[in-house]
Amino acid sequence: MSVAKSEPLWQRRLKNIKTNVDTIRFATDHDLAQNQEWCEVIFKNGTRRRYLFHNYAEVYRTPGLYEKLFYERLRCSSPSRTVRLLEELVHDFELPMEGLRVLDVGAGNGMVGDELRVRRVRTIVGVDIIPEAKEATNRDRPGVYNEYFVTDLTDLPEHLEKRLREYNFNCLTTVAALGFGDIPPAAFIKALDLIETPGWVAFTIKEDFLHERDSSGFSKLIRYLNKNELMQVQAYRRYRHRYSMTGKPLYYVIMVARKLRDVPDQLFPDVLDLR
Ligand SMILES: C[S@@+](CC[C@H](N)C(=O)[O-])C[C@H]1O[C@@H](n2cnc3c(N)ncnc32)[C@H](O)[C@@H]1O
């Protein structure tokens, strides 16, 4: 599959997913926090079921629901936007996309891997904390990742770390997966440590998590990484990640950065004080 200008990749993929999802209904009469949003799904056989948006395991288990909910209805654009911005910078550096060896953390059902693969990236390894993400990737986007590991980067078994390091990754991607009790700062630091120096780092984060008052630890961590020249931001792009179920735009930031220095050992215990 090549990069088409008109039809988004997720839409082309959805055509080949056998889904029983018929209608998605939102409770639009009240504003819920982003991680508390839910919907009712009506299936083609008439049965109904509620889904909490952030219960990814349940969403992935239902073929086509992730795409229909977040992409078709809520107009999520994060994987394609992030990979496009990364591609632009890689080209600015006069480097080929084929030369990237990517670790995609919080890989989910493979949307980011898919965007990378159509841009000719040859080595893409996925990591997610739930087995349903890997199962959905194998079901709906087989072959997109060279390997896919279900693991917790804050407690990475030694043998797995060895396997991951053998890839000599030179690019980390993590899209729509930081904050909200998903990937914590400590896991992000571990992922960064698995990338060669110099290397690329492309991630998205809700703009609230970059405010001084943020309590997730990411605002402090990103400032630390910049101030100590571990990371140099090449592109900072505010964009609409998706709409909320009541139709409000949810703004995130894409950062594409160069990893300039190895992660110092003392950053690991330090991160515990980031909150
Ligand atoms: C909104 S999904 C994004 C998936 C994919 N990156 C995309 O853009 O479609 C967030 C993903 O992060 C994963 N996740 C949450 N906590 C994680 C952790 N600590 N380590 C790895 N993955 C995690 C979830 O299981 C989920 O698949």
Domain boundaries defined on the chain = 9-73, 78-273
Token pair listed for 117 = 């693969």
pLDDT score recorded for residue 101: 98
3-state secondary structure of 254: strand
49 - beta bridge partners? Answer: 41
The answer to whether residue 148 scores a pLDDT higher than 70 is yes
How does residue 35 score in pLDDT terms, banded at 50, 70 and 90? confident
CA distances from residue 147 to 19, 58, 175, 181, 220 in whole angstroms, order as listed: 25, 23, 18, 25, 32
CA distance linking residue 32 with residue 39, whole number of Å:
11
pLDDT score recorded for residue 272: 55
CA distance linking residue 138 with residue 132, whole number of Å:
10
pLDDT single digits (tens) 67-109 = 999 999 999 999 999 999 999 999 999 999 999 999 999 999 9
| Ligand 1 neighbours (beta carbon < 6 A) | 56, 78-79, 105-108, 111-112, 127-130, 133, 152-153, 175-177, 182-183, 187
pLDDT single digits (tens) 217-236 = 888 899 899 999 999 999 99
| pLDDT, averaged across the chain | 93
* 123-128/21-26 β-pairing: unpaired
3-state secondary structure of 224: helix
Strands of 146-195 (E only): list them: 147-150, 171-174
pLDDT score recorded for residue 113: 98
Say if CB 10 and CB 144 are below 8 A apart.
Answer: no
Between residues 5 and 214, which one has the greater pLDDT? 214
74, 19, 20: which is closest to 48 by C-alpha? 20
3-state secondary structure of 256: strand
Atom of ligand 1 at shortest range from CA of 79? 8
How does residue 180 score in pLDDT terms, banded at 50, 70 and 90? confident
Among 37, 129, 174, which is best to mutate for testing ligand 1, by the most ligand atoms less than 8 A from CB?
A: 129
pLDDT single digits (tens) 36-70 = 899 999 999 999 999 999 999 999 999 999 999 99
Q: What is the mean pLDDT of residues 130-155?
A: 98
Fold type of domain 78-273: Rossmann fold (3.40.50)
* 48-52/38-43 β-pairing: antiparallel
Atom of ligand 1 at shortest range from CA of 175? 6
Q: What is the mean pLDDT of residues 153-163?
A: 97
CA distance linking residue 224 with residue 139, whole number of Å:
39
Among 13, 37, 55, 56, which is best to mutate for testing ligand 1, by the most ligand atoms less than 8 A from CB?
A: 56
Sheet containing 48-52: order of strands: 21-26, 38-43, 48-52
CA distance linking residue 41 with residue 22, whole number of Å:
7
pLDDT score recorded for residue 3: 54
pLDDT score recorded for residue 271: 64
How does residue 270 score in pLDDT terms, banded at 50, 70 and 90? low
The answer to whether residue 126 scores a pLDDT higher than 80 is yes
Say if CB 103 and CB 191 are below 8 A apart.
Answer: yes
Q: Phi and psi (nearest 5°) for 224? A: -60, -45
The pTM of the full predicted model, rounded to 2 decimals, is 0.95
How does residue 273 score in pLDDT terms, banded at 50, 70 and 90? low
Q: What is the mean pLDDT of residues 13-20?
A: 96
pLDDT score recorded for residue 1: 54
Token pair listed for 185 = 């700062």
